[in-house]
Amino acid sequence: MIELNNISKSYAGVFAVRDISLTVNKGEVLGFLGRNGAGKTTVMNMITGYISRTAGSIIVDGYDIVREPLEAKKRIGYLPEHPPLYPDMTVKEYLGFVCSLRAIERRRVKQEIQRVAEISHIKDVLGRLIRNLSKGYRQRVGIAQALVSSPEYIFLDEPSVGLDPVQIIEIRNLIKSIRTQSTVIFSSHILSEIAEVCDRVIIIHEGRLIKQSAITELLEEQNSAGSRLILRSKDSKEAIESVLKGLGLRFSPLGELERGTLDYRVEALRKADVREALYKNFHAAGLVLLEMRAISSSLEDVFLQITGESPQGSWEGKQ
């Protein structure tokens, strides 16, 4: 287990991270989610001992990362956002070098290289110079070095940044395979990655931890029956929007998806079921409501709501 107790990091009096406390449980895939610059990398760098913290404590399986760094770091594998690769080495030479840093016995080095190469699917490039590898393969080599000596905790900082869609799926599948052997902690600003891979998510915003929850619980918490709807009417834009504004709802027009009708996305600000009120008010105004169906929150919706952000111009009506 990894414990963070009120950790902060400041530079010249300006806080990049402030008062974050959390626990990383063994066997889970934990995602750090936040916008670029939110503080995700700073937190990971402090946990792994890459940079020091300004305040607080970080305990890795009972060892303080500052007071007992060697014992703590034995349990950690780390892939920074920019993999620490040596382009003039072959993949095999580089992994052998990492084995020496990890104090792997010489008689076990060949076996260890084969093991991590098989897990990360790079056996076919062991003899190639790192400089000649594609971005996707370099990421795989970076993950392989993090796996050397089978650390209990694997940290991956933006592991799919700069990759094409096929490479992103490959890295995602690789993360899923790693979880059978190690606890995986990775950061991303790509919400679909977090939703696809993680058991639990930590949302960091402007240097603070503002939410931590299981993915399923997070989505269920934000989805209240009848609070988010798609509705369709054959009446005028002015008449429809008058009713929506009268109910104090947020709404965004979706256009004419069926000839002679208008669709709207509607949301209640307080997560109340507004279906009955919508039906009654449309009827009282002499309007025809052709369709009304509930929609579920995506992780993107949840993130925007929790952080208090929204894309410019995405909603009309009451804010």
CATH number of the CATH domain containing 33: 3.40.50.300
pLDDT digits (tens, 9 = 90+) for 119-142: 999 999 999 999 999 999 999 999
Residues 21 and 122 in one domain: yes
CA distance 31 to 276: 38
Please state the rounded mean pLDDT for residues 87-112.
97
Residues 252 and 194 in one domain: no
Residues 27 and 157 in one domain: yes
pLDDT given for residue 99 in this prediction: 97
Residues 201 and 258 in one domain: no
Tokens 């009446």 belong to 235
Of 221, 249, 271, which residue is a domain's last?
221
Reported confidence tier of residue 314, pLDDT bands at 50, 70, 90: low
CATH number of the domain within which 260 lies: 3.30.70.100
- Which residues constitute the domain of residue 156? 2-221
Angle at 27 between CA 23 and CA 31, to 5 degrees: 60
3-class secondary-structure state, position 272: coil
53 located within any domain: yes
Number of domains in the chain: 2
Q: 142 with 77: CB under 8 angstroms?
A: no
Residues 275 and 130 in one domain: no
Residues 85 and 135 in one domain: yes
The reported pTM is 0.76
Residues 209 and 69 in one domain: yes
Residues 256 and 196 in one domain: no
251 located within any domain: yes
Does the pLDDT value for residue 95 go beyond 70? Answer: yes
pLDDT digits (tens, 9 = 90+) for 250-308: 899 999 999 999 999 998 877 678 899 999 999 999 999 999 988 766 677 777 777 77
Contacts of 256 (CB under 8 A, 6+ apart): 262, 263
Residues 259 and 209 in one domain: no
pLDDT given for residue 313 in this prediction: 46
pLDDT given for residue 164 in this prediction: 86
287 located within any domain: yes
Of 200, 221, 242, which residue is a domain's last?
221
Cα 246 to Cα 138, 194, 282, 310, 314, distances in angstroms: 56, 38, 11, 22, 19
Residues 201 and 234 in one domain: no
Burial readout 246-259 (b: 16 or more C-beta within 10 A, e: otherwise): ebebbbeeeeeeee
Amino acid code (one letter) for 199 = D
pLDDT given for residue 272 in this prediction: 76
CA distance 228 to 186: 31
Between these two residues, 16 and 308, which has the higher pLDDT value?
16
315 located within any domain: no
